[in-house]
Chain A
Amino acid sequence: MKKIIFAFTSVILLSLHLFANTKIVDAKEINQNCFRCHSMATLSYKDESTGIIKNLAVIPDEFYKSNHKNLSCIDCHSKDFQKFPHAANLKKENLYCLDCHKNEEKFKKFHFQTIEEEFKQSIHYKKMGDKFTCFDCHDPHSFKINARVNREIKETVLYDNQICLKCHDNTSTIKNLSGQLLPALNVSHSWLPHIDLHWKSVRCIDCHTSPNAPGVSHLILPKDQAVKNCVECHSKNSILLQSLYKFQTKQERDREGFINAVILNNSYVIGATRNYYLNLLSFIIFGIVLAALSIHGILRWKSHKGTLDGK
């Protein structure tokens, strides 16, 4: 029985593979149809019940760079959207990342299930419940993974922080969601020196999540549990090795033999950026100088003893 299923899935996978290219072309054709209207940046409507203006634009350039670039709109959305005007009941359509990403082998490395559990424990979900979803941070039409694949750490930082800043730089979004205002980031983080440098070199989630996640940590902690102690980053066992540099350190460790190469090329984190050989060399030179001076001093003291006593 198992064998039959295996053979069956193999055939399907193989044919999927063979037809993959034609499928993409098909997808593009279908999408073209939707983009006729949905690529218009101004396409939007006002939701009568909440009064919020809902933007319906999907930017083709971003879509074709995203993780879902190979999919067609109706792989996710109902086929009935191909008709216009769209049927009224389609509004109730409820898509969710995990619907498609739960059990597939291919997506295992992303740890979707853990991410969901972490998300449910995050401060956002605890405070705002179902009002806050994956889509508030990940636009299904433009989201692309970064930290895992991008070797330019500064680009990853920019991309990931933009996700948070979409709301946290925008008082009206925050107010809509929580009914209150948060202090400006430069105020709530005024204890951090070189604030602009840190914004560019380190991610919000590096301080605001627990670092012990198999993938990218989604457990955003209450603010009083955020990293405030400088040496958590600025020391030899920097937490950044488990978060921001996680995907790079593995590669670099294999390639160059020691962890710090990765940090050295991208940024200098005082306390964490240490080169084993340079350190050793400086200790040795220092030791030799100290030893030489001590010996010199002792010899001097011995040879001068008589004279000094006389004085």
Chain B
Amino acid sequence: MESNKEYFYPLWLRIWHWLNALLFLLLIFTGVNMQYANPKSPIIEFHTAVTLHNVSGITLTLNYLFFFILNFVSGNFKQYIPKFKNFISNLVLQAKYYLNGIFKNEDHPFETSKDQKFNPLQQFTYLQIMYAVLPIMVISGWALLFPEVLIKQIFGISGLTLTDIVHTIGAFFLSIFMIGHIYLATTGNTVLSNFKAMVTGWHLSHEEEAESQIFSTEEVSNEN
């Protein structure tokens, strides 16, 4: 039984993850409330939404820096770097699984391990979310906190407007990501096992024979 469990997620990562999740929810909720502000049925007052959004955004920035540094120091960032070898075909393989194999109760095409926590699709998405979209959101968000630093006009459109549009589009993608992320988290061993792992840090491997696979992927990653 012990051998089936592996310590995947160190404490710092779990703290970061759940704080991040909470802030995402707050930011999306308050953000949508501002973008679609309705005087007749305010779920939350505009002024409150703005304040809450700003506080959450600042906290998210700190949390992101925390993640960025520890992810680097701990070496965890390597998880995010996709393997060039068979990059496309691996993506296709994983996508095929979600579209077909999963209904036939097939095994996940890429067994996860301590050194390979993400499947290729996750790797591809997380890399973009964590190292492209989120930084863009943080930077544009801070620019909106201090609009006077923005360039006044870019091609006849106000710099503030452009920043707002970038921020809104980024937020849209993050909302979509979040829904997909939560849903795919239910595709673990059982519906809740991935959530449990993110709380306890201990990941439950799929089957007994998974061990051999873990071994082989370890070898692969050692080659790099």
- Indicate which residue in B37, B104, B187 contacts A231 across the interface (CB closer than 8 Å): B37
On whether A231 and B183 interact (CB within 8 A), knowing A285-B176, A299-B103, A303-B103, the answer reads no
B158 near A267 with CB under 8 A, answer yes
Give a binary string over A241-274; 1 marks a CB under 8 Å from any B CB, 0 the rest. Answer: 0000000000000000000000011111011011
Interface hit among A18-26, A189-197, A214-222: A189-197
Question: Contacting chain A: which of B13-21, B42-50, B198-206?
Answer: B42-50
* Cα distance, A299 to B104, chains bound together (Å): 10
Closest Cβ of chain B to A306, distance in Å, is: 9
Which residues of the partner chain A approach B104 to less than 8 Å between Cβ atoms?
Answer: 303
Q: CB < 8 Å: which of B147, B161, B190 contacts A311?
A: B190
| Pair A300/B187 contact, Cβ less than 8 Å | yes
B4-61 residues at the A interface, CB under 8 angstroms: 34-39, 42, 45-47, 50-51
B179 to chain A: closest residue by CB: A289
Query: Quick check: is B220 within 8 A (CB to CB) of the other chain?
Result: no
B184: nearest residue on chain A (CB-CB)?
Answer: A293
What distance in Å separates the Cβ of A297 from its nearest Cβ neighbour in chain B? 7
Measured between beta carbons, the chain B residues less than 8 angstroms from A266 are 158, 161
**Residue from A194, A236, A268, A304 within 8 A of B158 (CB atoms):** A268
Residues of A contacting B131 in the complex (Cβ-Cβ under 8 angstroms):
none
A180: interface (CB < 8 Å) = no
User: In whole angstroms, how far apart are the Cα atoms of A235 and B49 in the complex?
Assistant: 13
Contact indicator A307/B35 (Cβ below 8 Å): no
Are B37 and A271 interface neighbours, CB within 8 A?
yes
Bound together, the chains give a CA A264 to CA B175 distance in angstroms of: 23
Residues of B close to A267: CB separation below 8 A:
158, 160-161
Give Cα A78–Cα B220 distance, bound, in whole angstroms.
99
Give the shortest distance, in Å, between A182 (CB) and chain B (any CB): 24
Across the interface, B179 reaches (CB within 8 A) one of A264, A274, A293, namely A293
Interface size class of A (residues with CB under 8 A): 35 or more
A144 CB–B CB distance under 8 Å: no
Assess whether B172 is interfacial by the CB under 8 Å rule: yes
Which residues does chain B contribute within 8 Å of A191, judged by CB atoms? 47
Cα distance, A304 to B105, chains bound together (Å): 7
Q: Which residues of A contact B156 (CB under 8 A)?
A: 265
CB contacts (< 8 Å) of B190 on chain A: these are 308, 311
**Structural contact, B47 and A230, CB atoms closer than 8 A:** yes
Evaluate whether A231 and B148 lie within 8 angstroms (CB atoms) in the complex, with A268-B160, A299-B103 already known.
Answer: no
Min Cβ gap B171→A in Å is 10
Considering the complex, which residues of chain B in the window 153-183 have a beta carbon less than 8 Å from any beta carbon of chain A? Answer: 156-158, 160-161, 164-165, 172, 175-176, 179-180, 183
Q: Would you list 26 pairs from A and B whose C-beta atoms are within 8 A, ordered by A residue?
A: A193-B50, A197-B147, A197-B148, A230-B37, A231-B39, A232-B39, A234-B34, A234-B46, A235-B39, A237-B39, A264-B157, A266-B158, A266-B161, A268-B164, A268-B165, A270-B35, A270-B37, A271-B35, A271-B46, A282-B172, A285-B176, A286-B176, A289-B176, A296-B98, A297-B183, A299-B103
Residues of B near any A CB (own CB < 8 A): 34-39, 42, 45-47, 50-51, 98, 102-105, 147-148, 156-158, 160-161, 164-165, 172, 175-176, 179-180, 183, 186-187, 190-191
Which 7 A/B pairs are nearest by Cβ-Cβ distance?
Answer: A271-B37, A230-B46, A268-B164, A231-B39, A268-B161, A303-B103, A235-B37
Binding site for B on A (CB under 8 A): 191, 193-194, 196-197, 229-232, 234-237, 264-268, 270-271, 273-274, 282, 285-286, 289-290, 293, 296-297, 299-300, 303-304, 307-308, 311
